[in-house]
Structures are given as structure tokens and as C-alpha cells.
Structure 1
Amino acid sequence: MILCCTICSNKVHSTPLDASYEVTVPVDDCEYRLRLQPGSKRKVAVLQAVRIQTQPGEPHFQLITDNLKLACLLELLLFEQKSAKKEQKTCHHEKG
């Protein structure tokens, strides 16, 4: 949950009076915009995601609401954040 809070404070966007947050997760040649909603008792819900694939011409959008896919995207987001945090610590120790 601490990792989720870190992500929410660093990488998310929200509009005024909106209870959810939007975060972008790049995967290969696509970009996924996840809609996250913090819940009670240290829970986070992934409400939906939009897959954006840019091809010559115009981008293609696909709405994702399947729970398994949303859970996988959340796991990728958390893994990415954890790896980045670990890399920062490693780089910090090498400098010192």
C-alpha cells in the first residue's frame, strides 16, 4: 500500500472533485491509462484502463474493463515503481 501511495503522489493526475486518479503505464508500443480509486482499509480499485496504440495516422483506443487484465496492469505498475525505487537506491549507494 505504501508503494501505491508513492505512485499516487508522484505519477497520477486527477481533476477537481474527482474521487479517482489516472496513471499511465507504458507497455511495449502501447500506453495504458489506468483509472485508480483509493478505497478504505488500504485498498485500491482499478476501475478501468484505456489502451492507446499509436500507429501511422491516428491513435487507436480500446477500453478495458476485464478484472483480470486490470489486475495485471496494476501489478505491472507496482513492479515498475518497485524496480525504479530499487534502481534509485543502487545508484545512490554507488555515488556514496
Structure 2
Amino acid sequence: MSYPRPDVRLVQSWQATVEVLQENTASQHSVLRMAYPTSSEIIAAAPHTNNSLSVGQRDNRDGSHYCDEVLRQRRTLSVQGAGAALSQYPRCADGSP
């Protein structure tokens, strides 16, 4: 099923945001996903090169991934020591939390 794409200017703003996050944290990757009823798609990703998480990648949402649980709770997520915390949850098919 095809879903409407976000406005180009909004996507550019999100791209700038993930770049700032990636540059200013110890994270190797920073991504923004758009959640659809049965899938999610990476809308913005940093860095642009050598990134296994690239814009346009889709993952089926089957409810078993950490990212689905965060969406289900509908609350802001803030994780101290995220690397250790995420290791206990299944990863999305593309390798992201």
C-alpha cells in the first residue's frame, strides 16, 4: 500500500536533525522512521556514506521489535545508557533498535 510522503521541506529539516544528533552524540548512526500501519520506513539517516541504515529502507511492523513497543506506548522516549538498555530487546530487521 502506498502512503502519502511527507513534505520535502519537512524531510530536509528532519535530515538536518539526524545529522546534528549523529555528529553530537557517540552514536554511529542516527535515523528517523515514518511509521505506517504495517511497516516503517527510514525517512532521514546519518551518516550518508557507509550507512547500513539508508533512506527508503522499509521494515514490516510485526509488533516484536523495540521500535514497535515505543510506538505502542505513545510516550516520549529518553534512555540513559541506551546501548546497554537496548541490548535486551530484539532488533528491527534492518539492525536498528
> TM-score, length-normalised on structure 2?
0.31
Larger Rg: 1
> Larger % of helix: which?
1
> Larger % of strand: which?
1
> TM-score, length-normalised on structure 1?
0.31
